[in-house]
Amino acid sequence: MKVILKNVNLNHPSQKLKETKTNLIIKDGKIIKIGKLSEEDTKNSKEIDLTGKVLVPGFFDMHVHLREPGREDEETVVTGCDSAANGGFTGIACMPNTEPAIDSSEVVSLIKKQADGHLVDLFVIGAATQGRKGEVISPMAELYESGVVGFSDDGVAIKTAAILKRALEYSKMYNLPIIEHCEDESLAGGAMNEGLNSTLLGLPPIPSVAEDLIVMRGILMSEYTEGKFHVAHISTKKSVEMVRTAKKARLNITAEVTPHHFTLTDDAVKTYDTNMKMNPPLREINDVAEVIKGLKDGTIDCIASDHAPHSYEEKEVEFEFAPNGILGLETQVGLALTELYHKKVLSLEQLIEKMSINPRKILNLPVPKFEVGEDANFTILDVDEVWTVDTNNFKSKSKNSPFNKRLLTGRAVGVINKNKMIFEKETLNI
Amino acid sequence: MPLSSRHLLGLNGVPKEDIQLILDTTKTFREVLERPIKKVPTLQGKTIVNLFFENSTRTRISFELAEKRLSADAINFSASTSSVSKGETFKDTIKNIEAMKVDMVVARHAAAGTPLFLTKICDANIINAGDGIHEHPTQGLLDLYSIREKLGRLEGLKVCIVGDIAHSRVALSNIYGLKTMGAKVSVCGPSTMIPRNMKELGVDVIHNIDEAIQENDVLNVLRIQLERKAREYFPSIREYAKYFGITEERLEKNGKDVVIMHPGPINRGVELSSGVADGLQQIILKQVTNGVAVRMAILYLLGTMN
């Protein structure tokens, strides 16, 4: 089938391409023409008018928790991918803290099989250690061969410096990153950020230094081993400063931040709303300011959601007993556009780098291009659409979003990938 | 004038007028407690559930007595901290109890914020009887009342809270209540037991117990919770008693008629020597009596407002 995207704006920063009101023709999932339409072009084709919309290389979320295998009541591979597509992503990478953990090629292929034929490209992050227990490194070579794109014990940091050293050394052979959940175990276990608010609310605190220590450990170990180290969901001022310094020294360090860590502070916990509970916890205003500065100056490479579905029953309990984590896939684009693009923290080009190009680079994946002969892998943005988040419209199996009813400006209105297109809620085979 | 809220969740943000009203009402009930017949019919026909998800003896008995003195029907419910472990969720437990048509719920829970959660899932008046390390407003109010009874005022007094501030729900309620009523509040204890942000609350921090005795009109001495995780925050009981324990010698040396309070139960020989615990400067058992009167006042004020 031939589809013509008419009057569309194109924006691809790494191709240095920015065009307005052009046309793009896709045939059998590949780009066959960009530019003016001839009479021949319009024959036997479906035309979709995208006036005012921006076509960008498909967004990629490198930090997503699908609950399969183990907690399919909260999310499956399919509902997670549906949620990603609805949120404007054409690719995601899922974290290995499932039950069982993703530490063998069997589990990897089981998960990948579920996503067969889906519009969204699903990539798998393997466990850094066997069973995520932090004792022995996982079969990284075998995992690499089965298509794993990074390693992490996410949910916790790799238990000891010795195991981290081995993981960085071993994964270096395949140029895959160690993605670290930075939290010192002996300081962990609280319910919110340590600060004035934790005192006022009487909630057990997690000090920011718990994150900083493990970020520091990772930076030092990465320097020593020359391994590739990626800081997951960075959230503190100090950690951002350390990553900035490490980058200046040209170390092999990258970092991501979640939308909630650049949008909310721990003031949001004051209602004891369990949808404000996640790990790392919401931090203070100084931390948020530094995270935003880090996004602006390039210290933070990408935005990732840490999409963490939890059932209603699990979250509808006392704050201290509620599990950590919130949904992210279906609010991320809107929050990034609202909080970063419209507030002039990032240009649209910078935002595309952080949501499409950089995450793929970190995971050694090819970046989609606007070129004849390339696969059509795009996100369609309406950067000015004002909309209200409604969890009832989510494709995720869970509803645990702190952003329900929030007014946002800018939305992903469609995605195109793998011979499929979703636009205005309609799915087309193209 | 009625209270400004139909719940008592904490003393944070409770206006001065409300505290004044509660303390004045307490005075009336305090007189009732001195009568030969200590029962009044005020809350006849009202049903109050004492929902204790955490062990408590004195607070529960104090509430129960207050309820009985007011002629309310009191029901006691005790459960382990997490009802989830028994299979039923906390919310379901509450819904079940509410379905039995209760008017007021007195709740004690190990998790902070539970009373606020209760207001969202249940229509009864909610009274916080202690939530985690957050607040214990009735204890705060009985402490205010006891100080006012002893010294005739609260405004301008210097009150120091001594001990494990970080793991105490009593400390925070005292700080809020005392500051609202115009007292000057400080805390004294080992630095591992004092939250980092005390100054932002307008509270001075000191680490020298002799200085605390010299500088203050009242010392509210908290219990060191030997049985809890708090035990890990100081090196030994011996060291704590030596540097932060209040003894007759210390009181004598600093030569001052400071009022000694304690929410109980006391670890004799740790935070207070036996001599001080039974001495002339303490008002510890008065606090217990006042506790019943304060709870009567709160139950009355909340129970008659809707």
Tens of pLDDT, residue by residue over A144-176, are: 999 999 999 999 999 999 999 999 999 999 999
Q: What separation in angstroms does the CA of A64 have from each of A123, A218, A255?
A: 10, 22, 15
Report the C-alpha gap between A190 and A193 in whole angstroms: 8
Please measure the distance between the N-terminal and C-terminal CA atoms of chain A and give it in whole angstroms: 5
- Structural element, H or E, at residue B69: helix B58-69
- The pTM of this model reads 0.92
Q: What residue of B is the nearest CA neighbor of A317?
A: B90
Q: Distance from B58 to chain A by nearest Cα, in Å?
A: 22
Report the C-alpha gap between A360 and B233 in whole angstroms: 46
| Strand-pair partners of A302 | A256
Determine whether A103 is an active site residue: no
Whether the CB of A320 is below 8 Å from some CB of chain B: the reply is yes
The reply to whether omega before A280 is within 30° of 0 (cis) is yes
Whether the CB-CB separation of A81 and A427 falls below 8 Å is answered with no
At B92 the pLDDT is 86
Tokens of A276: 């404000």
pLDDT band at B90 (very low <50, low <70, confident <90, very high): confident
At B80 the pLDDT is 65
* List A306, A375, A384, A390, catalytic entry: A306
Whether the CB-CB separation of B226 and B234 falls below 8 Å is answered with no
Report the C-alpha gap between B95 and A378 in whole angstroms: 49
CB pairs under 8 A between A and B: 66
**Mean pLDDT of successive 10-residue stretches along chain A, which has 430 residues:** 94 96 96 92 92 98 96 97 98 97 96 97 98 96 98 97 98 97 96 97 97 98 98 98 98 98 98 97 98 98 98 92 97 98 98 98 98 97 98 97 98 97 91
Instruction: Count how many Cα atoms sit within 13 Å of the Cα of residue B235 in the half-sphere of its side chain.
Output: 5
Report the C-alpha gap between A374 and A11 in whole angstroms: 16
Average pLDDT over residues B166-190: 97
Task: Calculate the CA dihedral of residues B125, B128, B132, B135 and round it to 10 degrees.
Answer: 130
Q: Is the pLDDT of residue B193 over 60?
A: yes
CB spacing of A321 vs B117 below 8 angstroms: no
Report the residue from B82, B117, B133 with minimal CB separation from A272. Answer: B117
Which has the closest alpha carbon to B143: B111, B183, B201? B183
At B229 the pLDDT is 64
Report the C-alpha gap between B90 and B53 in whole angstroms: 10
Whether the CB-CB separation of A240 and A234 falls below 8 Å is answered with yes
CB spacing of A203 vs B134 below 8 angstroms: yes
Q: Which residues from chain A sit within 8 angstroms of residue B110, using beta carbons?
A: 320
Whether the CB-CB separation of A320 and B132 falls below 8 Å is answered with yes
Report the C-alpha gap between B30 and A56 in whole angstroms: 74
Q: Is the pLDDT of residue B81 over 80?
A: no
Whether the CB of A136 is below 8 Å from some CB of chain B: the reply is no
Q: List domains and CATH numbers for chain A.
A: 2-55+371-429 (2.30.40.10), 58-362 (3.20.20.140)
- Structural element, H or E, at residue B51: strand B47-52
Report the C-alpha gap between A363 and A350 in whole angstroms: 19
Report the C-alpha gap between A121 and A363 in whole angstroms: 13
CB spacing of A317 vs B196 below 8 angstroms: no
Which of B114, B174, B179 is the best residue to mutate to test the A interface, defined by the most A CB atoms within 10 Å of its own CB?
A: B114
Q: Distance from B195 to chain A by nearest Cα, in Å?
A: 7
Kindly give the pairing relationship between strand B218-221 and strand B259-261.
parallel
Q: Which residues from chain B sit within 8 angstroms of residue A272, using beta carbons?
A: 112-113, 116-117
Q: Distance from B135 to chain A by nearest Cα, in Å?
A: 7
Report the C-alpha gap between A223 and A422 in whole angstroms: 44
Task: Calculate the CA dihedral of residues A289, A295, A296, A298 and round it to 10 degrees.
Answer: 140
Mean pLDDT estimate for chain B: 93
Report the C-alpha gap between B115 and A78 in whole angstroms: 39
CB spacing of A318 vs B90 below 8 angstroms: yes
Report the C-alpha gap between A105 and A120 in whole angstroms: 21
Which has the closest alpha carbon to A63: A155, A146, A160? A155
Cα B257 vs. chain centroid, distance in angstroms? 24
Which has the closest alpha carbon to A88: A342, A380, A293, A289? A380
Tell me if residue A135 falls in helix, strand or coil: coil
Whether the CB-CB separation of A65 and A326 falls below 8 Å is answered with no
Q: Which residues from chain A sit within 8 angstroms of residue B111, using beta carbons?
A: 318-321
At B228 the pLDDT is 63
CB spacing of A195 vs B201 below 8 angstroms: no
Which of A193, A201, A269, A284 is the best residue to mutate to test the B interface, defined by the most B CB atoms within 10 Å of its own CB?
A: A201
Average pLDDT over residues B149-170: 96
Q: What separation in angstroms does the CA of B186 have from each of A182, B156, B174, B199, B267?
A: 36, 13, 11, 9, 22
Q: List domains and CATH numbers for chain B.
A: 16-136+288-303 (3.40.50.1370), 137-287 (3.40.50.1370)
- Structural element, H or E, at residue B219: strand B218-221
Which has the closest alpha carbon to A133: A162, A94, A163? A163
Average pLDDT over residues B207-212: 96
At A325, the amino acid letter reads G
Q: Is the pLDDT of residue B84 over 70?
A: no
pLDDT band at B231 (very low <50, low <70, confident <90, very high): low
Whether the CB of A319 is below 8 Å from some CB of chain B: the reply is yes
